[in-house]
A and B are shown apart, each in its own frame.
Chain A
Amino acid sequence: MIDREILLEKMKTSPYKPMRGKIMESRMLTEKEKFFRIELEGKINLGHEPGQFVMVSIFGYAEAPISICSSPTDKGYFDLTVRNVGVFTDKLHKLGRGDIVGIRGPFGKGFPVDRMFGYDLVIVAGGLGIVPLRSLIRYVTYNKNDFGHVQILIGCKTPKEFLFQEETKEWMKRAEIKLNCTVDKADPEWKGNVGLITTLIPGVDIFPARTYGVVVGPPIMYRFVIRELLNKNIPEHQIIVSLERRMRCGLGKCGHCQVEGLYICQSGPVFDYSQLKNFKGECHEKAA
Chain B
Amino acid sequence: MKYATIKKEDLNRWLQHLQKRARLYAPKKKENLFIFRPVKDVNEITLKYIPTILPPKKYYFPQKEKLLKFTLKPFKTAKAIKEFEEYILFAVHTCDIAGIQCMDVVFRDSPEDPNYLNRKDKMTIIGIECLEYCDKFANCTSMGNHVPRGGYDLMMVDLGEKFILHINSEKGEKLIHGLDYIKEADEKDMLSLERAREAKKKVFKEEFNASLPVVYEAFDKRFNSDVWKDVGRRCVACGNCTTVCPTCYCFDVMDEMGLSFNEGMRYRIWNSCQMDDFAKVAGGEDFRKGRDTRQRHRYYRKFKYPVDKFNRYFCTGCGRCTRACMAEINLVETVNALLAEKGEQK
Residues of A within 8 A of B279 (CB): 245-246, 256, 258
Count contacts on A: residues with CB < 8 A to the other chain: 47
Contact A20 B75 (CB under 8 A): yes
Contact A14 B111 (CB under 8 A): no
Residues of A within 8 A of B278 (CB): 255-256
Is residue A253 within 8 Å, beta carbon to beta carbon, of the partner chain? yes
Residues of B within 8 A of A219 (CB): 285
Residues of B within 8 A of A100 (CB): 75
Q: How far is the CB of B51 from chain A (nearest CB, A)?
A: 23
Is residue A261 within 8 Å, beta carbon to beta carbon, of the partner chain? yes
Contact A254 B250 (CB under 8 A): yes
Interface SS of A by simple majority: loop
Is residue A145 within 8 Å, beta carbon to beta carbon, of the partner chain? no
Residues of A within 8 A of B302 (CB): none
Is residue B137 within 8 Å, beta carbon to beta carbon, of the partner chain? no
Is residue B320 within 8 Å, beta carbon to beta carbon, of the partner chain? no
Q: A11-B114, A11-B117, A282-B287 are in contact. Are A253 and B280 (CB under 8 A)?
A: no
Q: How far is the CB of A260 from chain B (nearest CB, A)?
A: 7
Contact B114 A253 (CB under 8 A): no
Q: A60-B255, A244-B281, A251-B111 are in contact. Are A14 and B117 (CB under 8 A)?
A: no
Q: How far is the CB of B245 from chain A (nearest CB, A)?
A: 12
Which residues of chain B from 93 to 151 have a CB within 8 Å of any chain A CB? 106-109, 111-115, 117-118, 121
Residues of A within 8 A of B266 (CB): 16, 59, 62
Residues of A within 8 A of B37 (CB): none
- A60: which of B68, B72, B293, B305 is its contact (CB, 8 Å)? B72
Q: How far is the CB of A11 from chain B (nearest CB, A)?
A: 5
Residues of A within 8 A of B268 (CB): 249, 254
0/1 string, B248-273, CB within 8 A of A gives 1:
01111111010001001010100101
Contact A89 B114 (CB under 8 A): no
Residues of A within 8 A of B323 (CB): none
Is residue B169 within 8 Å, beta carbon to beta carbon, of the partner chain? no
Ordered by A's residue number, 13 sampled pairs between the chains whose C-beta atoms are within 8 Å are A14-B79, A14-B115, A17-B77, A20-B75, A85-B282, A246-B282, A248-B271, A258-B297, A258-B301, A258-B305, A261-B305, A280-B223, A284-B285
- Listed from nearest, the 8 A-B pairs whose CB atoms lie closest are A255-B250, A261-B305, A280-B223, A100-B75, A16-B67, A11-B114, A59-B70, A85-B282
**Contact residues of B with A, CB < 8 Å?**
67-68, 70, 72, 75, 77-79, 106-109, 111-115, 117-118, 121, 223-224, 249-255, 257, 261, 264, 266, 268, 271, 273, 278-283, 285, 287-288, 293, 297, 300-301, 304-305, 308-309, 346
Q: Known A-B contacts: A64-B282, A284-B285. Give 17 more (CB < 8 A).
A: A11-B112, A15-B113, A16-B266, A17-B68, A59-B70, A85-B282, A102-B77, A128-B283, A244-B281, A244-B282, A244-B285, A245-B279, A246-B282, A249-B268, A253-B106, A256-B279, A260-B305
